[in-house]
């Protein structure tokens, strides 16, 4: 039983999967925030062009 506990304590394969999961989650959050900001800026640009065309 002691050998099993020592082997489980030394096993680091699950740690790598957790690190990759956290990295992917962080990248997802950054992507969502970035795309939201780009979408808002693009919407403002289209509104400006639309108002300029209506005023002609």
Which pLDDT score is estimated for 18?
Answer: 85
CB within 8 A of 17, min separation 6: which ones? none
Q: How confident is the model at residue 25 (pLDDT cuts 50, 70, 90)?
A: very high
Degrees, nearest 5: CA angle 22-26-29: 140
Confidence of residue 22 (pLDDT cuts 50, 70, 90): very high
For residue 10, the number of C-alpha atoms closer than 13 Å in the C-beta half-sphere is 6
The pTM for the full model equals 0.57
Q: Report the distance separating Cα 29 and Cα 15, nearest Å.
A: 21
């Amino acid at each position: 039983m002691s050998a099993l506990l020592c082997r489980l304590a030394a096993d680091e394969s699950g740690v790598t999967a957790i690190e990759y999961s956290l990295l992917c989650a962080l990248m997802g959050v950054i992507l969502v925030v970035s795309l939201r900001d780009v979408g808002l800026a693009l919407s403002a640009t289209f509104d400006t062009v639309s108002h300029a065309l209506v005023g002609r």
